[in-house]
Amino acid sequence: MKALVLTFLTRLARPDAAWLGVLLLGVLLARPALAQDPELPARRSGIETAPLQTLQLDEIRPADTAKVFSLQDLAELIFANHPIVKQAALLSEEGRSQVLQARGGFDPKLEADFHRKLFGGTEYYNNWGNQLKVPIWPGGIDLKASYDRFVGVYTNPETRTPVNGLAGIGLSVPIGAGLFIDARRSTLRQAKALLSAAEADRVKQINEVWLQAAKDYWNWYYSYQQNQLIREGVALASRRFEATARRAQIGDQAPIDSVEAQITVQDRQVQGTQLLVELQNARLLLSNHLWNKDGQPVELPAYAAPQSPALDTVSRAQYQQLAQQAAVNHPTLLKLDAKIAQYRIEESYRREMLKPKLNLTGTLISQGDFYRNEVPGYYNFGLDNYKLGADFAFPLFLRAERGKLQYARIQLKEFALEKQQSQRTIGTQVANVYSTLKAYEQQLRIQAQAIRNQRILLRAELTKFELGESTIFLINARESKLIDLRIKQESLRSSYEKSRAELYYYAGTRSKTAD
């Protein structure tokens, strides 16, 4: 302060500057009343250059590739380790287990039973029955092979066999209901149809996970770019404040300019603090999708940087291809197709159940020790040794069967109408997102032009300042406006990439990065 006062007193000795010295001396003497005056940095020897340096005239510089956490890196971690993705894979496993369970209706079945009663030295009965039943797909036929030995004093004559038992081989054929489709075939066909529905659910669930992860990634990208730009702005404003303050110390610039420069620093520091918190929160949200191979959650390191957005855009041909794919292979539509196929099978089965139930059974029988030579030939398998039976049943009103058939038809209509509406909705969503992308492309072009013009304006303001025709206030205003424009540009880029992810999601697929 003493040096500054001596400087002004020296200038007061010049007659042509007396009025200026009086004015500046008054400003200095009134300094204690200016509570907002900045703390000036230590004075350096030599002449200070004008505070015109700015990095806002430069284009965006790419981040260190060694620290870049790309979208492909995110995709690899998610599809390898994410719990929801693993859970989605279980949907297909569950569908296959249902098919396996339905195939159990065609498993060969071996049955055996043994009952014996001995009382008072008398063997009332000694019954041993065995049967192997092999279901056959065509016609609902059951192939049967049996061996029965029913002996004893009080054994029912209808079932009594020779002491060595009787062997038999025969068929059970449904002539009425169940000839073209029965419960076993219906269950298996429906399980196969629902396997497609399970696969569609798996794809849709994975697509939902990836969409949210992609959105969180580009939110992190935007927060990162905001933080970088504001940090750059703080550094520029700090250097400008220091240079302005030092020039004010030697009297080359008004002290009030340093106050204005410091206000700019403080304003940008406040913004930087808020944006740093937003960046940390965005990083944490993105970390929700990160898991290691051991199933443990991991966090994105603070030094990681996002990749730059792709320079390509979605062409009209790509949009048409995605729209066509959405109309054919969208998981929602595939699931509805599976449901429709399921209820068509159910309708066919319920219509079959309207027929009378008529089952014919026939068995060729032979004495159990027919392999012995001494057994007479008329005990061997032949048309003279058989069992024949028929079972008939028919509900007179068929109310249960007609109700089940009606319900299947109603469900079939419901899913058909739902598919019709879903096709329209999906097509509209794809078209809407594509229109949004085209709007973002136009905004990005305009924003790039605005940034170029603002850089020209900032250069002109710096030149005017060198000629003494501008002020620090105008330079800071131009620079702050350029920072705001660049932040808006990064916001548009982030929104464009999120809309691109939505376009692929509504088309029922994922971007090439996530394949």
Q: Let me know if residue 62 belongs to a domain.
A: yes
- 373 C-beta neighbours (distance < 10 Å), count: 4
Alpha-carbon span 121 to 22, nearest angstrom: 144
- Shortest CA distance to 448 belongs to which of 492, 398, 499? 492
The number of beta carbons lying within 10 Å of the beta carbon of residue 490 is 20
- Report yes or no on 247 lying in a domain: yes
pLDDT value of position 511: 78
Do residues 362 and 221 share a domain? no
Amino acid 72: pLDDT: 92
- Rounded Cα–Cα distance for residues 276 and 302 (Å): 11
Confirm whether 6 is domain-assigned: no
Task: Classify residue 61 by its DSSP letter.
Answer: P
- For residue 306, being part of any structural domain is answered with yes
Residue 474, domain extent = 34-92+190-338+417-514
Q: Say if 14 falls within a structural domain.
A: no
In a shared domain, residues 87 and 113: no
Residues 477 and 505 in one domain: yes
Number of independent structural domains in the chain: 2
User: What averages of pLDDT result for each successive group of 10 residues across the chain (515 residues)?
Assistant: 38 39 35 37 36 49 70 93 93 92 93 94 93 90 93 89 88 91 93 93 95 96 94 87 82 79 88 93 95 92 91 90 93 95 95 93 79 58 82 93 95 96 96 96 95 93 84 84 93 95 94 64
Same domain, 326 and 220: yes
- Residue 252, pLDDT score: 74
- Give residue 438's pLDDT: 95
Q: Are residues 140 and 156 in the same domain?
A: yes
Nearest C-alpha neighbor of 172 from the set 131, 147, 142: 142
Residues 363 and 239 in one domain: no
> Domain with 484 in it: what CATH number?
1.20.1600.10
* Residue 480 is assigned to a structural domain of this protein: yes
Residue 8 resides in a domain: no
CA 25, 30, 32 angle in degrees (round to 5)?
130
Q: Residue 455: which residues within 8 A CB-CB, separation 6 or more?
A: 56, 57, 482
Say whether both 282 and 243 belong to one domain.
Answer: yes
One domain, residues 204 and 319 = yes
pLDDT of residue 134: 94
Determine the Cα–Cα distance for residues 11 and 18; give it in Å rounded to an integer.
7
231 with 273, same domain: the answer is yes
Q: Do 225 and 174 belong to one domain? A: no
Does a structural domain hold residue 457?
yes
Which pLDDT score, from 0 to 100, does residue 439 have?
96
- Does residue 169 share a domain with residue 156? yes
Contact 486, 59 (CB under 8 A): no
| Residue 378 sits in the same domain as residue 465 | no
- 55: tokens are 């990095």
Continuous H helices in 38-170: 71-81, 83-103
pLDDT given for residue 9 in this prediction: 34
pLDDT confidence of residue 159:
87
